[in-house]
Structure 1
Amino acid sequence: MRRTLIVGAGLTGAVLAREIAERLDERVVVIDRREHIGGNTFDGPNGHGVVVHHYGPHIFHTNAPQVANYLSRYTDWRSYEHRVVAWFDDRWVPLPFNMTAMEIVFGETEGRRLNAVLAGEYGLGVKVPILKMRQSGSADVRRVADLVYEKVFLHYTMKQWGVAPDALDPSVSARVPVFLSRDDRYFQDTFQAMPRDGYAALVARMLDDPRIELRCGQSFEDVDGVERFDRVVFTGAIDEFFDHVHGPLPYRSIRFDMVTTESGHTIQRAAQQNFPTPAAQHAFTRSTEFRQLTGQGDIGHTTLAFEYPEDYVPGRNEPYYPIPHEDSRRIYRRYAAEAAKLGTVFFAGRLADYSYYNMDQAVARALACFEKEIAPRRPASAGREASA
């Protein structure tokens, strides 16, 4: 029976392991250098019994029915719609900045007038990137855009990425639009829910197949007999696989400060509170209250995670975010060219593809990798390429 080695037990690796085992009837060995499954989605109770997401909040949402249906094989769902508020000139406003926020910031009368101006230019129910608004011929539109740029985008971006906004790809600004609606949900996807038993349980069920062997606490470098596998699927950092031959790819990391408080109820205004203020005022970017995400009842405590972005330093912290600018993409393209030469080694996942995937995108990428790259061809041996 053919054997596949999958490096990484996160969502991407788990989906591919299950597809290869179930649909190709092959043996799969899944390794992960961490001592747990689920990758960055790993969750579970802390010392106070509060279920937390150990690597920061993960909220599942998608417009892809095939992804939702696929994951539904391995979990029941709890309906959940994410809401975010931002600290804006000593008051809380909903994010994305919307028509309600306009009236909070500018006052009801002026806010309504500005809402009408924006709706007249762009229509209702649309998300308008602030950089597009700053190019408007309307002084009122530019006034709103400049304020939102400074109060919502500028300082948050500098804290998150460690550089000024103009050093990043314009796609970053598209994540902070003005939403011409009174819908205060952070996402408008058709499917929004949380796995009822958590992400770790979802991944565990996905890996629960007699043809799948799981080895936690094992790195790719420590695998003996890689040449005996027929293929390798690598979901880790692609530059690490190639020993940084083209130089290291840059990432941003995060330090999480978990604060637990005795409380029989939740304490934040929303599950997530953003602080797009200068670093001198708030060094962290956001705080998340996990009981609001998980729906966990009164257990006498509640836990908040405060996020402090920082540079990625190998061996000290984790690489979370690929840095979106042309220099990093240029380096990645060199590694992608190296990967294309390897017929029996496949790369997929946020770190392997150097792409900022949401969870549904990671699942979709894994399914596409199986259908388009793995299933159509069954090579003889992965040994030579995997030892590259």
Structure 2
Amino acid sequence: MFDYIIVGSGFSGSVMAERIAKVLNKKVLIIEKRNHIGGNCYDYKDVNNITVHKYGPHLFHTDYKEVFDYLSNFTDWQPYHHRVLAFIDGKKVPIPFNLNTLFEVFPKSLAEKLERKLIDKYSYNLKVPILELLKEEDKDLKFLSNYVYDKIFKNYTAKQWGLKPENIDPQVTARVPICITKDNRYFTDKYQAIPNEGYTKIFERMLNHPKIKIMLKTDFKEVIDIDYANKKIYFMGQEFKGKLIFTGMIDEIFDFKYGYLPYRSLELRFETIEKEFYQEVTVVNYPNDYDFTRITEFKHIHPIMTNKTTILKEYPKSYQPNIDIPYYPVFTKENQELYNKYREEAGKFDNLILLGRLAEYRYYDMDDVIKRALEVFEERIR
């Protein structure tokens, strides 16, 4: 019998498995529904020998030195600074919306006036959430906030979340603020890099330990039974005395007894283009035009000499249980209340640990979820 069973092999599950096996020398079983490890960070080389991120672009960035140092045990790095353009009124401009974007979309005299007012009001190098700027009473800043809201946030948010920005939790809308700076980089973290051999290699090295066993193409419900009344967990028909670390959807482990938690999903369409490059940067967002939200070109992330390129168009959609992949929890007050019911149920089990974006119903970036896994290991396992 294993000491620990982990459901899911994304960063949450893999970090926990690696720590348990290496630090504690305990036996770990990973149960993974897909036919590969790595969760949504899985990547591979396509027919054009281009490294493609199967579930959409993943760009590593962090201010957590401990996270960067931890991952550096499993990979070498290539510095990479992410830049994004948005297609606005027929031209591509830098986002997050910054002082450079001002001069791209407005006449010089107006841009200079708005620049002065932003710096005077908020100071240089500050990030202002769009919903905060919309409260401005100054007519010029009000004009700017309405422009940015209408051209960049409103329609993109409607496509991405199926909701208006004001109906989404501020932790989501604050992720893409107006930046009072001339730095066109999408992230400003201290550590920004891409793993030299891709993310899948990180997971392979992380899980290459004699104490770690992996079951692929296995739904956890095929081998795990939960006795909700007596708060017991069974594995292959035997009571499991160890700890179950669950990184899947929290409502699923409780058989949706309170109803389904909403998620947003994506339809991902890959295309091979017969040219060296398709666009100027890795990602171009389309807030107002077309049904897709953005186009990613992977050769900008992992450069390679070839006269073809691979792009990805993302079409957001509502998550359909048992059909789609749940990518993003939908943050509303009602959904949080529903999640709290499931979290209360989980708290009644002595040997159940919930971890990750789906199990905790939170939006974690890669570095956040790795940091969270390292913390939970120290607090609840070690």
TM normalised by structure 1 equals: 0.93
The correspondence for 2:287, drawn from 276, 279, 290, is 276
CA distance in 1 between partners of 2:163 and 2:135 (Å): 23
**SS of structure 1 residue aligned to 2:295:** strand
CA distance in 1 between partners of 2:302 and 2:363 (Å): 24
State whether residues 264 and 327 of structure 2, in contact with CA within 8 Å, keep that contact through their aligned partners in structure 1: yes
Letter in 1 for 2:381: I
Letter in 1 for 2:349: L
State whether residues 50 and 301 of structure 1, in contact with CA within 8 Å, keep that contact through their aligned partners in structure 2: no
The correspondence for 2:260, drawn from 221, 224, 248, is 248
Offset, 1:225: 4.0
CA distance in 1 between partners of 2:343 and 2:99 (Å): 43
Partner of 2:95: 95
**SS of structure 2 residue aligned to 1:317:** coil
List aligned pairs for 1:286-297, cutoff 5 A: 286-295=294-303, 297=304
**SS of structure 1 residue aligned to 2:279:** coil
Q: 1:183-234: CA deviations, max 9, x gaps? A: 0000000000011111110011000011101111111111124624511111
Q: Which stretches of structure 1, 4 residues or more, deviate above 6 A after TM superposition?
A: none
CA distance in 2 between partners of 1:363 and 1:190 (Å): 17
Q: For residues 371 and 339 of structure 1, do their structure 2 counterparts lie closer, same or farther at Cα, with a shift above 3 Å needed?
A: same
Partner of 2:348: 341
Q: 1:94-145: CA deviations, max 9, x gaps? A: 0000001101111222211210111000000011111111112211111100
Offset, 1:267: 2.2
Q: 1:55-103: CA deviations, max 9, x gaps? A: 0000000010000000000111110000000011111110000001101
CA distance in 1 between partners of 2:2 and 2:271 (Å): 47
**SS of structure 2 residue aligned to 1:97:** coil
**SS of structure 2 residue aligned to 1:303:** strand
Matched, 1:361 2:368: yes
Partner of 2:251: 239
List aligned pairs for 1:144-159, cutoff 5 A: 144-159=144-159
Offset, 1:365: 1.0
CA distance in 1 between partners of 2:191 and 2:238 (Å): 40
Q: 1:4-33: CA deviations, max 9, x gaps? A: 111101111000001111111100011101
Give the superposed CA RMSD. Answer: 1.2
Partner of 1:136: 136
Partner of 2:231: none
How many residues get paired?
Answer: 370
**Structure 1 gaps, min length 5:** 376-388
Offset, 1:177: 1.3
Partner of 2:76: 76
Partner of 2:319: 312
CA distance in 1 between partners of 2:46 and 2:238 (Å): 36
Letter in 2 for 1:274: N
Partner of 1:300: 307
Offset, 1:355: 0.5
Letter in 1 for 2:190: T
The correspondence for 2:269, drawn from 257, 269, 273, is 257
Partner of 1:205: 205
Partner of 1:382: none
Offset, 1:330: 0.4
Letter in 2 for 1:250: P
CA distance in 1 between partners of 2:238 and 2:41 (Å): 27
**SS of structure 2 residue aligned to 1:6:** strand
